[in-house]
Amino acid sequence: MQSKAKGAPRRVRVDLGERSYDILIGSGLLSQTAEYLRPLKLGKHGVIITDTNVEPRYAGPLREALGKGGITVEVLSVPAGEGSKSLRQADRIFEKLPSLGLDRQSFVIALGGGVVGDLAGFVAASYLRGLALVQMPTSLLAQVDSSVGGKVGVNLPQGKNLVGAFYQPRLVLADTDTLATLPARELRSGFAEVIKHGAIRDAGFFEWLEREYKQVLALHPDAVARVVRRCCEIKAEVVSADERESGLRAILNFGHTLGHAMESLSEYVGLLHGEGISMGMCCGARLSVKRAGLSEEEAGRVGDLIAASGLPTRLGGSFKLEELLAAARLDKKARNSKLRFVLLKRLGEAVVSDAVTDADFVEVMDVCR
Amino acid sequence: MQSKAKGAPRRVRVDLGERSYDILIGSGLLSQTAEYLRPLKLGKHGVIITDTNVEPRYAGPLREALGKGGITVEVLSVPAGEGSKSLRQADRIFEKLPSLGLDRQSFVIALGGGVVGDLAGFVAASYLRGLALVQMPTSLLAQVDSSVGGKVGVNLPQGKNLVGAFYQPRLVLADTDTLATLPARELRSGFAEVIKHGAIRDAGFFEWLEREYKQVLALHPDAVARVVRRCCEIKAEVVSADERESGLRAILNFGHTLGHAMESLSEYVGLLHGEGISMGMCCGARLSVKRAGLSEEEAGRVGDLIAASGLPTRLGGSFKLEELLAAARLDKKARNSKLRFVLLKRLGEAVVSDAVTDADFVEVMDVCR
């Protein structure tokens, strides 16, 4: 259900001093890209980094849209999927860039979902010690979460996001039309991050999601625009307060310690990020009842919304407890190898806690199977 | 001629707001490392990145010195030489780090010359999105130049330093005793950067070098300490004014456009960095006479000091002019593929210039053969 209405885009500001930038959200933005880039005063030559799913749909139209503004771009494409968030793909791109005639005024456009945004962001952060980065997220997950906030990087076999940087984009352009071509499972995976934003920071938004989740998943334009904007506002607020995750920002990792552990153990095959964190949030809600005073009723609502959206709530038998525990310890938010979890005190309020013991973990994992 | 005198170290401050740090310069610092790290409040576990030349001499004593302060470290070593400043070696280190039990409070010590500092700095900048970095330069080149200022990175086959970051260390510890074990040719290579600092920023220091260069190359302790301190002061001043090289900082690249081009063309084999920039500075001085008003007399003094120090002043026949020109254009300081050179208006005053034409380049290259 692609909306053709072309109103003025919604604008969310990420306030980070000299690294501040806008997130523009709306329908039909892609065809206006040259206009939105103009105020940034970038060079006239750049590179689009995308993947094999997104390239055939959007790389051509984007190149054309930029051409109208006198901007020329090369297109580099990686295989679709989490496997491309690797040092190997980063190196492959690094080795292609010198022949493209880029200079320090050149820019990188990350056109795609979370994998492309993180990979292209790391490349932009590192090539010539930093080129201007424009995020053009085409998945719900990337539009509501990963394209905003400046975390970029790649995975190692031992864990997610172990190599990367804090590197803010100069602009985020979220064209909600691109969500129409997203497979349903990818859409639901992105919706897991939407639920997270409500759970950690805005009980009213969570309630609205409980009522309207079907509208969002059916891509009703107003519902989608509202969801993307509200999530970006929440993320912008948190990131502005704590860019480099010395405190508050860690709450964005609700569900992620376990989610990452599961993704790592499944070697990024067969489990989408949003599916991992859905199970992680369900376990997180149980741990929150035990260690942060969350009510049983609210913990139940977290699980219910996840389940209603078609996302997994239970781990199933495929993960060994000891392996999950070891992977959770390796999570880079861990300090001195202690378990560190984001817990909910109530819907809309999250805390970072070191209070979860191995015994709690084992008990809750058992319940969540 | 290793000095055993252990006075208080000289201290140079690099003033960069919340990224400010000290450079400590002196004899016998290595054995006191734990004490100098204490004010930084780092974790108790880190990793030393070094190379196969430096490791047998200094990794053991450093590990021991840290142990006295209750700090444990692992040692990772790369083959000595410019070839290790590569994505391949960076990846090799990234893949070893997860098994070392590091967390975000852990730190990286770069123990070695310029290659180790740049490589380890890039690893520190990127692992877990940034670990604390301590530079412990053991070569003259690293002590007077590359360990200070936060430029870190690796080479690509197509050019030097094409992948990297601006990432400031938390501390630089320059133990001048380590220079005693440096091969004479490496020492001279570092001295090229010393000459550069005088030429671009301090005519008085340049004159002092003309008188005292033999004392420096003989590692007379007072002369060495003076040279390291003055170069660090100059570099600190320039970097503080322009951390990310949007203006002034570019003057530090005097001799480097050509030097890098030659290093690139020789594939980093057989030509030391200081040798490349020595030839680059000689050509730069000639171009400066032509395009920036440098007097013949002062241009001659630049060449004379370089020659007197035993550094090369002429390109010889091994470089093809067209290849040099193409490589100089690829230099990442180039804008829109125009040639960009740092020129001297007079000794002690440098400017960045786009005035050099292809014809100038060809003419001067011809003279400098």
- Which entry of B129, B211, B297, B335 is annotated as an active-site residue? B129
Is residue B192's pLDDT more than 90?
yes
> Among B145, B162, B181, which residue terminates a domain?
B181
d(CA A365, CA B346): 72
Please spell the DSSP secondary structure of A16-44, one letter per residue. Answer: -GGG-EEEEEETT-GGGHHHHHGGG---S
Distance, CA of A59 to CA of A109 (rounded, Å): 10
Q: Which one of A71, A89, A129, A333 makes the best mutation probe of the B interface by having the most chain B beta carbons within 10 Å?
A: A129
**B182: number of Cβ within 10 Å:** 19
Q: What is the pLDDT of residues A291-317, one digit of tens each?
A: 999 999 999 999 999 999 999 998 776
Residues A133 and A231 reside in one and the same domain:
no
Output the pTM of the full model. Answer: 0.93
Please report residues of B whose CB lies closer than 8 A to that of A166: 129-130
A357 with A292, same domain? yes
**Chain A partners within 8 Å of B335 (Cβ):** 103-105
Give chain A positions within 8 Å (CB) of B164.
Answer: 126, 129
A218-244, pLDDT tens digit by residue?
A: 999 999 999 999 999 999 999 999 999
The per-residue pLDDT for B261 is 86
Residues A348 and A222: their CA atoms lie apart, in Å, by: 23
Residue B53 bears catalytic tag = no
A203 within 8 A of A197, measured Cβ to Cβ: no
Amino acid at the residue A125: A
Whether A277 and A294 map to the same domain: the answer is yes
Is B2 inside a domain boundary?
no
Q: In terms of residue numbers, what domain contains B326?
A: 184-367
Kindly name the residue from B188, B226, B235, B340 that is annotated as catalytic: B235
**Which comes out higher in pLDDT, residue A332 or B118?**
B118
Q: What is the CATH number of the domain that holds A346?
A: 1.20.1090.10
Choose from A163, A167, A340 for mutation: most chain B CBs within 10 A.
Answer: A163
pLDDT of residue A134: 98
Q: How confident is the model at residue A333 (pLDDT cuts 50, 70, 90)?
A: low
Determine how many CB atoms are found less than 10 A away from the CB of residue B237.
15
**If 0-12 CB within 10 Å is exposed, 13-18 middle and 19+ buried, where does residue B204 land?**
exposed
Task: Tell me whether residue B107 is in a domain.
Answer: yes
Rounded average pLDDT over B32-56: 97
Find the CATH number of the domain harbouring B158. Answer: 3.40.50.1970
User: What are φ and ψ of residue B353, in 5° steps?
Assistant: -135, 140
Q: What is the DSSP letter of A128?
A: T
Chain-chain contact of A163 with B104 (C-beta, under 8 angstroms): no
Among B166, B181, B196, identify where a domain stops.
B181
Q: Which helix (H) or strand (E) holds A152?
A: strand A151-156
Number of structural domains found in chain B: 2
For A222, A277, B152, B304, the CA distances from A259, given in Å and listed in that order, are 30, 4, 33, 64
**Are B118 and B215 found together in one domain?**
no
Q: Is residue A3 part of a domain?
A: no
Percentages of chain A per state (helix, strand, coil), in multiples of 5:
50, 20, 30
Q: B356 lies in a domain? A: yes
Q: Select from B49, B58, B53, B50 the least CA-distant residue to B30.
A: B58
Same-domain pairing of A77 and A221:
no
Q: A145 and A226, same structural domain?
A: no
Cβ-defined contact of B130 to A166 (cutoff 8 Å): yes
Tell me the per-residue pLDDT of A118-176, one tens digit each, with 9 for 90 and over. Answer: 999 999 999 999 999 999 999 999 999 999 999 999 999 888 899 999 999 999 999 99
* Same domain, yes or no: A259 and A280: yes
Minimum Cα–Cα distance from A329: chain B residue: B101
Q: Do B165 and A334 touch (CB under 8 A)?
A: no
CA distance A42 to chain B (A): 12
**pLDDT reading at A5 higher than 60:** no
Instruction: Tell whether B5 is covered by a domain.
Output: no
Instruction: Give the nearest chain A residue to B159 (CA atoms).
Output: A98
Substitution target from B92, B95, B128, B163 for chain A, most A beta carbons within 10 A: B163
DSSP state letter for A270: S
Of B105, B163, B332, the CB nearest to A126: B163
Q: Over 90: is that where the pLDDT of B71 sits?
A: yes
Residues of A in contact with B104 (CB under 8 A): 332-333, 335
The predicted structure's pLDDT at residue B268: 58
Q: Which 8-state DSSP code applies to residue B57? A: I
Domain boundary among B162, B181, B200: B181
Does B103 lie in the same domain as B32?
yes
C-alpha span between B329 and B323 (Å, rounded)? 10
Q: What is the mean pLDDT of residues A71-93?
A: 96
Distance of alpha carbon A111 from the chain centroid: 14
Q: Residue A337's pLDDT band (boundaries 50, 70, 90)?
A: low
B249 is catalytic: yes
Residues B214 and B246 in one domain: yes
Q: Do the domain assignments include residue B222?
A: yes
CB contacts of A91 in chain B (<8 Å) are: 87, 91
* Residue from B233, B243, B245, B275 carrying the catalytic annotation: B245
Q: Are A169 and A121 in contact (CB under 8 A)?
A: yes
Distance CA A15, CA A235 (A): 11
Q: Are residues B150 and B164 in the same domain?
A: yes
Please tell me whether residues A176 and A199 are part of one structural domain. Answer: no
Q: Do B129 and A99 touch (CB under 8 A)?
A: no
Provide the CA B115 distance to its chain's centre, in angstroms.
Answer: 9
The pLDDT-based confidence of B1 (bands split at 50, 70, 90) is very low
pLDDT of residue A84: 97
**CA B104, B107, B113: angle at the middle one, nearest 5?**
145
User: Which residues of chain A are at the B interface, by a Cβ-Cβ cutoff of 8 Å?
Assistant: 43, 87, 91, 94-95, 97-99, 101, 103-105, 122, 125-130, 151, 153, 156-159, 161-166, 244, 330, 332-337
- Specify the pLDDT at position B131: 98
Kindly identify which residue of chain A lies nearest to residue B244, measuring between CA atoms.
A129
Q: Is B151 a catalytic residue?
A: yes
Q: Please judge whether A153 and B129 are an interchain contact, meaning their C-beta atoms are less than 8 angstroms apart.
A: yes
Number of CB atoms found within 10 A of residue B265's CB: 17
CB atoms within 10 A of CB B317: 7
Q: Which residues of A are catalytic?
A: 129, 151, 193, 235, 245, 249, 253, 256, 260, 273
Of the candidates B129, B162, B333, which has its C-beta nearest A166's C-beta?
B129
A30/A159 same-domain check: yes
- In a mutational test of the A interface, the residue from B103, B155, B333 whose CB has the highest number of chain A CBs within 10 Å is B103
Residues from B contacting A (CB-CB < 8 Å) are 43, 87, 91, 94-95, 97-99, 101, 103-105, 122, 125-130, 151, 153, 156-159, 161-166, 244, 330, 332-337
pLDDT category, B3, cuts 50, 70, 90?
Answer: very low
Q: Is the pLDDT of residue B210 over 80?
A: yes
Counting residues of chain B whose pLDDT is more than 70, the rounded percentage is: 95
Amino acid at A176: T
Nearest to A85 by CA among A122, A57, A110, A54: A122
Contacts of A104 in chain B (CB under 8 A): 332-333, 335
Residue of B nearest to A156 (CA): B95
- Say yes or no for a CB contact (<8 Å) between A165 and B129: yes
Chain B residues within 8 A of A94 when measuring between CB atoms:
87, 156, 162-163
Strands (DSSP E) contained in B64-139 are 72-78, 107-112, 132-137
- Sole residue written with tokens 């006075």: B7
Contact B161, B151 (CB under 8 A): yes
- Confidence band, pLDDT 50/70/90 cuts, at residue B269: low
Residue A192 lies in a domain: yes
pLDDT at position B106, please? Answer: 96
> Mind telling me how many Å the CA of A211 is from chain B's nearest CA?
38
Question: Which residues are paired to B47 by β-bridges?
Answer: B74, B108
Q: How many CB pairs under 8 A join A and B?
A: 98
pLDDT at residue B5, as a whole number: 45
Q: pLDDT category, B336, cuts 50, 70, 90?
A: low
* Contact yes or no for A66/A173 (Cβ under 8 A): no
Is B95 in contact with A153 (Cβ distance < 8 A)? Answer: no
Q: So what's the ipTM on this one? A: 0.91
What is the structure's pLDDT at B4? 43
Residue B49 included in any domain: yes
Give me the residue label for tokens 């003279």: B367
